[in-house]
Amino acid sequence: MIDALFGSKTRIKLLHLFLNNPGKSFYVREITRLIDEQINSVRRELANMMNVGIVSSETTDNKLYYEVNQRYEHYVPLRAIFADQHVEAVVEVVSGNTSWHDALTQIPGVRLVLTAGVLVTGSASAVDILIVGDVSPTRLNKMMKDIEKAEGRELNYSVLSYDEFYYRLSVRDKFITEILNGKYSILVDTDNMLNSHK
């Protein structure tokens, strides 16, 4: 049934391969062995998938490697369909009924949390989560791994101290300005920093 919907048995096999291995790249001959399909069919479908944007490529050691584009706008729903384990767009990653959004806001020392990039529809930011405050790197790294697992993709996040963020905001630093000029969502702003600098 999915074959009929997506039009090609090879494409279905490729989507299964890529969406079950985010962050892993494959070269063409390796792909043909893994999915047991003809090389011409694989090349044709890879070209189609690159045109759509779901797959990206990179040359390393004179070999062209392909991998899923985790920043593709329909990545999460496609992963929900094709990944072997069922993945939801927002999965609870902390014990109890706390979502990862809530868990981020409860980290001791957090003063500002913004989401952007792949986590906010219409955002073109390269940064997905910006965290400002005096937070434990160990605890934050573990939480980010849990969030990435819940989202089913790698996320770009940045952590700044309050003083560094405030300084960058006041001098209209390019990094901060690019995030704030695009679409973003505020999870925490304990000091109302963003409203006072509009």
CATH topology of domain 2-82: Arc Repressor Mutant, subunit A (1.10.10)
Domain ranges of the chain: 2-82, 100-196
- Count CA atoms closer than 13 A to 51's CA, side-chain side: 6
**Start-to-end Cα distance in the chain:** 52
Q: What is the DSSP string of 143-185?
A: HHHHHHHHHTS---EEEE-HHHHHHHHHTT-HHHHHHHHS--E
pLDDT of 59 above 50: yes
pLDDT for res 95 = 37
Q: What is the DSSP string of 97-150?
A: T--HHHHHHTSTTEEEEEE-GGGSTT---S-SEEEEE---HHHHHHHHHHHHHH
pLDDT for res 196 = 57
Tell me if 157 sits within 8 A of 113, measured CB to CB.
no
pLDDT tens sequence across 109-168: 889 999 998 888 888 888 999 999 988 888 888 888 888 877 778 888 999 999 999 899
pLDDT for res 85 = 55
H or E, element range at 56? strand 55-60
Whole-structure pTM value: 0.59
Q: Give the integer Cα–Cα distance in Å for 183 and 62.
A: 39
| pLDDT tier for residue 89 given thresholds of 50, 70 and 90 | very low
Q: Give the integer Cα–Cα distance in Å for 174 and 158.
A: 14
What CA dihedral angle connects 104, 110, 111 and 115, to 10 degrees?
-30
